[in-house]
Amino acid sequence: MEPELRDYVGELLDSGTVAGVLALKDELGAVKPYLFTKNNEIGDLVLTSKYPLASVMSMLQKEDPSIKLAIVCRGCDERALIELAKRNQINLDNIVFVGIPCDEEMADKCNCLQPYPKEIVTGEKLSNWVPKNNYEDFKNMSTEEKLIFWKGQLEKCNKCYGCRNACPLCFCSDCELENALWVKHGRLPPEFPIYHVIRAFHLAGKCVGCGECENACPVGIPLMTLNHLLREDIKDLFGYMTGQDIEDENPINTKEEY
């Protein structure tokens, strides 16, 4: 997959279609997001590992709104870009999507609902993919058991805000998690359950299931359980799935004039 992809993006650079390609680079035994601007660097472009590239893209566009860039993106990156665009956080016209599918191992690791973008330039989409974990264990708990479960989990919180910082859809410059009206400042752990509930609910209809929040959580709080259940609710209640098409109206985004 990698050699074909390198050729493909090399061509985008050479032809001047884009000024740079946002992708992952192998360096110092680790993998990092990087903006490739020259064809001769492309040899270090890799597809392993996963980083919130949509957030990086949004940051780059803010730096230079007119710049045209390509992004090597997985399903979740694409969905995040689409949801960001619906909220005027990104300009899709200046982005060239270079889609890649996730393999089974990766899709399993993320328990992903949709491990591929709409169009891919190389590799193959997993066919008939259904994620293994349906959170049945959790759903079968009584309300009381759920309360005990979450209490035990959320008391571990280190208030690093990492779940928010890593999330491509958490873009508000004034974050309600930092508003003392809801969450007392300087307390560890943050008050139960408001801190985590605010974040979960603010992501309803936004969350694209990329898993970056849970990956960033130093204490292993199963944040994806919350996200998954909320995504199910949004689907059941409104028939809405995030990140599918820029034209799909988001049920929770109000567009009323007032």
Partner 1 sequence: MKYDNILTTCPYCGCGCKYYIQVINGVAKGVMPCKEDPVSEGKLCIKGWNVVDFVYSEGRLTKPLIKENGKFREASWDEAYNLIVSKFKKIKEQHGPQAFGLLSSAKTTNEENYLMQKFARSIIVTNNVDHCARLCHASTVAGLAAAFGSGAMTNSIPEFEDADCFLITGSNTTEQHPLIGSRILRAKERGAKIILVDPRLIQLAKFADIHLRQKPGTDVAWLNGLMYVIIKDGLVDEEFVKNRTENYEKLKKEVMNYPPEKVEEITGVPKEDIISAAHIFGNAKTASIIYSMGITQHTTGVDNVKSCANLAMITGNMGKACTGVNPLRGQNNVQGACDLGALPNVFPGYQAVANGEFREKFEKAWKMDDKIPENVGLTVVEMTNEAHAGNIKCLYIMGENPMVSDPDINHVKESLESLDFLVVQDIFLTETAELADVVLPGTSFLEKDGTFTGTDRRVQRVRKAIEPLGESKPDWLIISELASRMGSSAFEYNSPKEIQDEIASLTPLYGGISYERLDDLGYLQWPCLDKDHKGTVFLHKGKFTRGLGCFFPITYKPPAELPDKEYPFTLTTGRILFHFHTGTMTRCVPKLDKEVPTGYVEIHPVDADRLGIKDGEIIKVSTRRGTINIPAYITRKVPEKIVFIPFHFKECAANILTNPALDPIAKIPELKVCACKVESIGE
CB of 70 to ligand SF4, least distance (A): 22
Using CB under 8 A as the binding rule, whether residue 35 contacts partner 1 is answered as: yes
Binding residues for ligand SF4 restricted to 119-178, rule: CB under 6 A: 157-163, 166-169
Number of chain positions touching partner 1 (CB under 8 A): 42
Binding residues for ligand SF4 restricted to 182-221, rule: CB under 6 A: 203, 207-213, 216-219, 221
Interatomic CA distance for residues 8 and 254, integer angstroms: 40
CB 145 within 8 A of CB 153: no
* Closest-CA residue to 52 (of 188, 214, 204): 214
Residues making up the chain, counted from first to last: 258
Using CB under 8 A as the binding rule, whether residue 28 contacts partner 1 is answered as: yes
CB of 174 to partner 1, least distance (A): 12
CB 126 within 8 A of CB 104: yes
* Closest-CA residue to 100 (of 81, 82, 126): 126
Using CB under 8 A as the binding rule, whether residue 29 contacts partner 1 is answered as: yes
Using CB under 8 A as the binding rule, whether residue 171 contacts partner 1 is answered as: no
Using CB under 6 A as the binding rule, whether residue 227 contacts ligand SF4 is answered as: yes
Using CB under 6 A as the binding rule, whether residue 85 contacts ligand SF4 is answered as: no
According to DSSP, residue 93 is labeled G
Number of chain positions touching ligand SF4 (CB under 6 A): 25
List, in sequence order, every residue forming a beta bridge with 25; answer none if it has no partner: 32, 45
Paired tokens of 61: 């566009």
Paired tokens of 216: 């960033």
Interatomic CA distance for residues 160 and 14, integer angstroms: 42
Residue that the structure tokens 């408001």 belong to: 194
Using CB under 6 A as the binding rule, whether residue 90 contacts ligand SF4 is answered as: no
List interacting residues with ligand SF4 (CB under 6 A): 157-163, 166-169, 203, 207-213, 216-219, 221, 227
List interacting residues with partner 1 (CB under 8 A): 19-20, 22, 27-35, 37, 49-51, 56, 59-60, 63-64, 67, 155-156, 158-162, 165-166, 178, 185-186, 188-189, 215-220
